[in-house]
């Protein structure tokens, strides 16, 4: 069936999760971050994801903001930057204002101009996601922002992917699902979506029972994949 609905993961897909650490390093207030921000950003994202998986399989759900703070605290300690309350707060404040990747606004406008449904489907809490959407200025090209908080479990649980059909009344094979997480795109393939993995870092494909249908370096050609 033709694609009617394009759904995007948020963090790392539409929004640059390294932006908070990079901006904090660039503003000159925290010189100790200058040569460690990339390491910090990597640890922060890795632990943020790991904690969502562990909470999902142990039935210990928490708001994604709590998970984000836990991940940051681990990353700060791992990089020898713990103990600086001002740095921690600055990084957390910046996470609510993450920058969208440069190609995102035009790509979403193209999808909307073609009459497709567009949405975010994310582990993020509603407040976090709304903050990022507003900061990036893309609210007018999204039909909805779907959060796992409505089902109380993180991806890749099928109940999260169910939210798309419940919201838009579409069949699974009408959905193009896009994520920067290989495991997310792979699991969404198993669920029944047409998937695209945005592999900006050039990582290997995850060894899962399912593979993303498409692998891209950025989001520029998403409208073509959607049939626009």
The CATH superfamily of 5-15+99-225 is: HAD superfamily/HAD-like (3.40.50.1000)
pLDDT, tens only, 129-159: 999 999 999 999 999 999 999 999 999 999 9
Over range 34-63, report the average pLDDT: 97
**HSE (CB half, 13 Å, CA atoms) of 189?**
19
Cα distance between residue 90 and residue 87, in whole Å: 5
Would you list the domain boundaries of the chain?
5-15+99-225, 19-95
**Strands 144-147 vs 117-122: parallel, antiparallel or unpaired:** parallel
- Residues known to be catalytic: 9
Structure tokens at 194: 């047409």
What is the DSSP annotation of 6-54? EEE--BTTTB-TTHHHHHHHHTSS-GGGTTTHHHHHHHHHHHHHHHHHH
* The architecture CATH gives domain 19-95: Orthogonal Bundle (1.10)
Res. 68 pLDDT band, cuts 50 70 90 = very high
Is a pLDDT exceeding 90 seen at residue 28?
Answer: no
pLDDT, tens only, 91-107: 999 999 998 999 999 99
Over range 8-15, report the average pLDDT: 97
Q: What is the pLDDT of residue 1?
A: 81
pTM for this predicted structure: 0.95
Closest CA to 74 of 97, 98, 41: 41
Residue % of the chain over a pLDDT of 90: 96
- Whether 52 contacts 154, CB under 8 Å: yes
Cα distance between residue 206 and residue 85, in whole Å: 36
């Amino acid at each position: 069936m033709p694609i009617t609905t394009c759904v995007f993961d948020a963090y790392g897909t539409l929004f640059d999760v390294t932006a908070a650490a990079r901006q904090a390093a660039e503003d000159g207030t925290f010189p100790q971050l200058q040569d460690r921000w990339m390491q910090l950003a990597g640890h922060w994202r890795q632990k943020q994801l790991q904690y969502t998986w562990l909470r999902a399989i142990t039935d210990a759900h928490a708001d994604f903001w709590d998970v984000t703070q836990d991940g940051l605290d681990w990353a700060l300690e791992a990089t020898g930057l713990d103990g600086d309350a001002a740095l921690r707060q600055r990084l957390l404040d910046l996470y609510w204002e993450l920058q969208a990747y440069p190609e995102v606004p035009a790509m979403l406008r193209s999808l909307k101009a073609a009459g497709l449904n567009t949405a975010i489907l994310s582990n993020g809490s509603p407040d976090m996601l709304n903050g990022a959407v507003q900061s990036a200025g893309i609210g007018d090209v999204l039909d909805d922002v779907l959060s796992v908080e409505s089902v109380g479990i993180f991806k890749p649980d099928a109940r999260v992917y169910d939210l798309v059909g419940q919201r838009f009344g579409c069949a699974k094979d009408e959905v193009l699902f896009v994520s920067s997480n290989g495991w997310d795109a792979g699991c969404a393939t198993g669920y029944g979506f047409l998937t695209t993995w945005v592999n900006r870092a050039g990582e290997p494909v995850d060894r899962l029972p399912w593979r993303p249908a498409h692998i891209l370096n950025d989001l520029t050609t998403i409208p073509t994949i959607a049939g626009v």
